[in-house]
Amino acid sequence: MSEWKATFCGWFAYNFDYVICCGFNASEKLKSLVEKVKLIDSLEEEQKSHIYAIIDMAVSNKRLKNTLTNALQGI
């Protein structure tokens, strides 16, 4: 697992546990996201790598779109 993915999973798991433990009301979106990250973390390594590849692709596409949009606006 790459460093950012391990950090991402660890950060959300820690914060979710902190929110639940300390009785703070977290938003439903945060709870839903953390639950999904925990489920992903429980998958087999091959399944995780496929999901991470899809996430990486989506992030790359978003960055490319933003870069191209900014470049076209500068013309």
**Amino acid letter for position 9:** C
Give the pLDDT of the chain (75 residues) as one tens digit per residue: 555 555 565 655 555 555 554 545 557 777 888 888 889 989 999 999 999 999 999 999 999 999 999 999 976
Report which of 46, 61, 33 is spatially closest to residue 1, judged by C-alpha positions. 46
3-22 vs 28-41: helix crossing angle, rounded to 10? 130
pLDDT value, residue 19:
53
Tracing tokens 């977290």 back to the chain, one arrives at: 26
- Is the full-model pTM beyond 0.85? no
pLDDT recorded at residue 74: 78
